[in-house]
Chains A and B, each alone.
Chain A
Amino acid sequence: MIDIFLDITLLTFLAITTVAIVRITNLVAIIMLFGIFSFLSAAVFIVMDAIDVAFTEAAVGAGISTVLMLATIILTKDQKEKQSVGRRSWLPLAVVTVTGAALVYGTRDVPAFGDPQAPAQTHVAPYYIERSVPETGVPNIVTAVLASYRGFDTLGEVFVIFTAGIAVLLLIGDKRRKSTAAMREGDNYDV
């Protein structure tokens, strides 16, 4: 009962935040609303007992990506969204409405939350639930799956983050090679 009340409250707040993000034109305010959106999502995940996901959502979505977006906004120094004047475009509205209706129609086939007969619960999940403690000795099934059964996938994820870090460093990172302007002036590309 309390879960339904919490769900309705949180989802209402999510909807309000979304409308506010669409309506507001000040980019700094929009970023703050994105942070609030992430916090509300984290709360929804907690209600659904997905504490690990909620952790990540709160730290990454509300914390770090908000800071990164703020840093970007400060760099661009243009804190107003450009308004497209006057033209009402009906085609995008139609596309969005049709897609949304299709998605809502699709949810009719989604099994109920926590349904033990759902395909996701009948495939490998019973194996993990029954065998993960005797096989790995780790009470947290999520950790056992993440680090042991699916260790190879997690290795791939670490490499994805690593690649992202390298890409950021290469694109905007190194201050010591600050003389791109000087390079352009002298056409001295050997530096």
Chain B
Amino acid sequence: MTYNLILRIVSKTVIPLISVFALYVQFHGDFGPGGGFQAGIILGSSIILYALIFGLDAAEKVIPSIILRLLASLRVLIYAGVGLVTLFLGGSYLEYSVLADTQIAGQHLGILLVELGVGIAVFALMLIIYFAFAGRGRP
């Protein structure tokens, strides 16, 4: 992409805001609209915006694709693992109430972990797909 000063300055200002907003959507999802899926997409789009403006190589330096693959697999494992943990704690699969002493606390912890799993998995997978598509254009 050709060097474009306005795009660079604007995106440098906007990308941190988008990332913080993604975190807000992630961790405020219990109380307001949003949740893991939306947060992952928003965080992913901030990196994609960075890749569009500053080039694919710069974006892959920010997050190497091997880390993305690890993140995606790990987070799916964490989601499924929460289910296994609740099984071992004597509940049924994904029954969060057994995770902590009280039902409310257990549900809260379970929902938080699961949403985090969804968010990071979606973030990593969106970037994997984008990098795969955009990487094809390279000579």
By a beta-carbon cutoff of 8 Å, the part of chain A in contact with chain B is 51-52, 55-56, 59-60, 63-64, 67-68, 71-72, 74-75, 135-140, 142-144, 146-148, 151-152, 154-155, 158-159, 161-162, 164-165, 168-169, 172-173, 175
Contact = CB atoms under 8 A, between A and B. Distances in A.
Interface in B90-116: 93-94, 96, 103-105, 107-108, 110-111, 114-115
B26 to A, nearest CB: 11
> Binding site of A, secondary structure by majority: helix, strand, loop or mixed?
helix
A75 B136 contact: yes
B7 to A, nearest CB: 15
Contacts, number: 137
B38 A162 contact: no
Interface secondary structure of B, over-half rule: helix
Q: How big is chain B's contact interface, by range?
A: 35 or more
B79 interface: yes
Nearest to A174: B132
B128 A55 contact: no
Contact of A56 (B37, B73, B94, B135): B37
Given A138-B111, A147-B36, A147-B111, 11 more contacts: A51-B34, A55-B33, A67-B130, A71-B137, A136-B111, A140-B31, A140-B33, A140-B35, A144-B111, A148-B96, A148-B111
Nearest to A155: B79
Contact of B115 (A68, A143, A173): A143
Contact of B30 (A51, A140, A154, A155): A140
B59 interface: no
A160 B92 CA distance: 23
B104 A155 contact: no
Given A143-B30, A158-B121, A161-B122, A137 B108 contact: yes
Contacts of A139: 30-31
